[in-house]
Amino acid sequence: AETQMASKPSLYQRLGGKEAITAVVDTFVAKVAADNRINKFFASTDIPNLKMHLVNQVCEATGGPCKYTGRTMKATHAGMGLTNADFDALVQDLVGALDSHRVPKAEKDELLAALGPMRSDIVER
């Protein structure tokens, strides 16, 4: 996990590693669960399983030593009929979680930039 230290630390390292990412994901999922704009989509979701996948996805995408084992973003969200407004609401909840854990702006913007391109695989209408 420390292999990049000679150059620039990975985003994973700058976020604080797996413990810090897990804490952000916990807060994020709690915010989504309390968000009446989008929580209906998660009514029958296995939340501990979702959290596990999210932690691994963020860990791997930011250069950490994890492997995402979930489905593709397109397959996962197919048929949900998600809109840009739904996506934006979820991103707002993520920003709120990152802010509540005092993640600095540079790291926050980098993470959001890594997730942004997934929009076209997730939004269907």
Q: How many residues appear in the chain?
A: 125
Count CB-CB contacts under 10 A for residue 35: 16
Closer to ligand HEM at the Cβ: 8 or 79?
79
Closer to ligand HEM at the Cβ: 3 or 69?
69
- Quickly list H helices, 16-83: 17-33, 47-61, 73-77
Closer to ligand HEM at the Cβ: 3 or 71?
71
Closer to ligand HEM at the Cβ: 23 or 89?
89
- Euclidean distance between CA atoms 86 and 29, whole angstroms: 15
| First-residue to last-residue Cα distance in the chain | 39
- Euclidean distance between CA atoms 111 and 2, whole angstroms: 19
Residue 110 neighbours by CB under 8 Å, 6+ apart: 11, 62
The CB-of-115 to ligand HEM minimum distance in angstroms stands at: 4
The CB-of-73 to ligand HEM minimum distance in angstroms stands at: 6
The response to whether 101 counts as a known ligand-binding position is no
62: closest CA among 3, 12, 120? Answer: 12
CB closest to ligand HEM, residue no: 70
The CB-of-1 to ligand HEM minimum distance in angstroms stands at: 21
Chain residues binding ligand HEM by CB under 6 A are 38, 41-42, 45, 50, 53-54, 57, 70-71, 76-77, 82, 86-87, 90, 115, 118, 122
Q: From the annotation, which residues make up the binding site for heme? A: 53, 77
Q: From the annotation, which residues make up the binding site? A: 53, 77
